[in-house]
């Protein structure tokens, strides 16, 4: 965040009590609007079936790269007793789904700014807090229809303060563009906001500790779709013990949001043949979004 200012950096922070008052006022002032949005979201939850008969990787091949997030296929069991939303942070700063549905763009930015400020000061994971260059909150359109959800910052992200800016991030950009969208159209975030040393996988405790941050990001943005990039992102969000291979290919639900799991771009850099599988997943996404599926380019 410090090295790469995002729109959320342009807004002044709120203290926890002010945020609580801010959200309470919004909840009452937008009650009717909230009901309207909820009805629209419910009406749009009809899934369509995508054409899964052809392979269609439309982004160029890249050589192998060692990076965080390339652990597919894998099962990431959850620690016993992990709560759905660990109460690490004060309840006063939580942004429940029902409050954020009706937030206007500027208000979503303000809410994200509050969370980003908390993240910047967080030292919940002692090792990560002591080794990080900076926290990596998230970037993109706070009104995005789609959030891409990875596992943790790598070295490039730790230096630049923005998720998915290394070679895996460049591949993600090409995937997004292959879908007919741009990076700035979507929102990109990770499970962890701090880089695990050596790009190791996030520990169970670290994922649990950071959970309330990404949940609040997602419930503030309220995307229609969350695309989980990799096994860790998918199993952490969905609190599932299934493998990424088992989770791929169909939509799952997280708090009323459609969730699609696919392989992490870093895994694709090491295993280019898996690109066709990711493209199949993107076709499912595009079909459900009602967007055209671009022609195969190569």
By the criterion CB under 6 A, which residues form the site for ligand SF4?
119, 122-125, 128-129, 135, 192-194, 206, 209-210, 213
- Tell me how far, at minimum, the Cβ of 83 lies from ligand SF4, in Å: 15
Nearer to ligand SF4, 57 or 138 (CB): 138
Nearer to ligand SF4, 40 or 126 (CB): 126
Nearer to ligand SF4, 107 or 156 (CB): 156
For the beta carbon of residue 6, count every other beta carbon within 10 angstroms. 18
- Tell me how far, at minimum, the Cβ of 217 lies from ligand SF4, in Å: 12
Residue 82 exposed, middle or buried by CB count within 10 Å (0-12, 13-18, 19+) = middle
- Tell me how far, at minimum, the Cβ of 75 lies from ligand SF4, in Å: 22
Helix, strand, coil percent values for the chain (each to nearest 5)? 45, 10, 45
Residues in contact with 212: Cβ distance below 8 Å, sequence separation at least 6, in sequence order: 85, 86, 87, 88, 89, 94
- Tell me how far, at minimum, the Cβ of 192 lies from ligand SF4, in Å: 4
Strands (E), 84-165: 139-140, 146-150
- Tell me how far, at minimum, the Cβ of 151 lies from ligand SF4, in Å: 11
Using DSSP, state whether 125 is helix, strand or coil. Answer: coil
How far apart are alpha carbons 62 and 56 in whole angstroms?
16
Joined tokens for residue 223? 């995307």
Nearer to ligand SF4, 136 or 285 (CB): 136
Nearer to ligand SF4, 132 or 275 (CB): 132
């Amino acid at each position: 965040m410090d090295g790469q200012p995002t729109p959320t950096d342009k807004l002044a922070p709120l203290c926890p009590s002010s945020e609580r008052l801010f959200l309470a006022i919004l909840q009452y002032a937008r009650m009717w609007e909230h009901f309207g949005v909820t009805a629209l979201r419910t009406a749009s939850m009809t899934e369509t079936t995508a054409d899964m008969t052809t392979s269609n990787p439309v982004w160029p091949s890249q050589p192998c790269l060692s990076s965080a997030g390339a652990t597919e296929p894998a099962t990431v069991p959850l620690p016993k007793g992990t709560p759905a939303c660990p109460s690490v942070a004060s309840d006063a700063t939580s942004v429940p789904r029902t409050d954020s549905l009706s937030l206007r763009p500027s208000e979503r930015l303000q809410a994200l700014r509050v969370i980003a400020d908390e993240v910047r000061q967080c030292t919940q994971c002692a090792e990560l807090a002591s080794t990080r260059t900076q926290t990596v909150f998230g970037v993109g359109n706070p009104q995005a229809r789609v959030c891409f959800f990875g596992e943790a910052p790598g070295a490039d992200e730790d230096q630049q303060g923005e998720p998915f800016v290394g070679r895996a991030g460049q591949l993600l950009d090409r995937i997004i563009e292959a879908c007919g969208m741009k990076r700035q159209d979507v929102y990109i975030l990770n499970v962890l906001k701090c880089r695990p040393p050596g790009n190791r996988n996030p520990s169970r405790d670290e994922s649990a500790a950071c959970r309330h941050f990404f949940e609040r990001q997602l419930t503030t943005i309220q995307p229609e779709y969350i695309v989980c990039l990799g096994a860790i992102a998918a199993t952490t969000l969905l609190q599932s013990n299934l493998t990424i291979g088992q989770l791929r290919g169909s939509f799952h639900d997280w708090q009323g949001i459609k969730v699609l799991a696919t392989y992490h771009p870093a895994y694709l850099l090491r295993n280019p043949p898996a690109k066709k599988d990711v493209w199949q997943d993107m076709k499912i996404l595009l079909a459900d979004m009602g967007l055209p599926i671009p022609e195969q380019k190569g």
